[in-house]
Amino acid sequence: MKEEMQVAINAQIQKEFYSSYLYLAMSAYCEKENLPGFAKWLKVQYQEEIEHAMKFLNHLLERGGTVKLGAIAEPPCEFGSPKALFEEVLKHEKFITASINKLYETAIAEKDYPVQVLLQWFISEQVEEESSACAIIEKLKMVGEKGAPLMYIDKELSYRK
């Protein structure tokens, strides 16, 4: 594996670990705000992001690459309303999508076919990630952010596995 590809994958690993850290911070915020269903949804997302980082890390190792773990930035601890929080989720997922797409472009330029195959899974995953965040935002727009309708959405989100 060429050096440029290793550097790019290591950068993506760092972004995926930051994503997990961000979603864990969001989950803690929702717990504090007495929204356990939102917190559960975000904890599942936290776990998914760790799995994503590990897919990249394991790919590097399987191909004889060098893993270089960088520092993870501190995420915020306040997120405002549930709608504002999920707008931040969507914004972050769009950032990750752009990063994966750039990584794919690098894999094409480097003619690194194994990374291209790996990234096909991530490209599909990002469509799902953005769609999920959009669906929650749309529900919050419909019901508002107070009272029984919000509690219904909170309960619905608690079923995520």
Cα separation, 40 vs 23, in Å, equals 10
Answer whether residue 146 shows pLDDT above 90.
no
Answer whether residue 154 shows pLDDT above 90.
no
DSSP 70-102: PPPPPPPS---SHHHHHHHHHHHHHHHHHHHHH
**What's the confidence (pLDDT) of residue 145?**
74
Cα separation, 74 vs 72, in Å, equals 7
Residues 16-22: what's their mean pLDDT?
A: 98
Answer whether residue 44 shows pLDDT above 80.
yes
CATH number of the structural domain 3-157: 1.20.1260.10
**What's the confidence (pLDDT) of residue 52?**
98
For the whole model, what pTM was predicted? 0.93
What are the tens digits of pLDDT across the range 89-128?
A: 999 999 999 999 999 999 999 999 999 999 999 999 999 9
**What's the confidence (pLDDT) of residue 149?**
83
Domain residue ranges in the chain: 3-157
Which pair of tokens denotes residue 34? 């007495």
Cα separation, 86 vs 80, in Å, equals 10
Cα separation, 145 vs 14, in Å, equals 33
* % of the chain exceeding 70 in pLDDT: 100
Q: Over the chain, what is the mean pLDDT?
A: 95
What are the tens digits of pLDDT across the range 46-83?
A: 999 999 999 999 999 999 999 999 999 999 999 999 99
Which pair of tokens denotes residue 135? 């669906």
**What's the confidence (pLDDT) of residue 81?**
94
Answer whether residue 147 shows pLDDT above 80.
no
Ramachandran class of 153: left when φ > 0, alpha when ψ lies in -120 to 50, beta otherwise: alpha
**What's the confidence (pLDDT) of residue 143?**
86
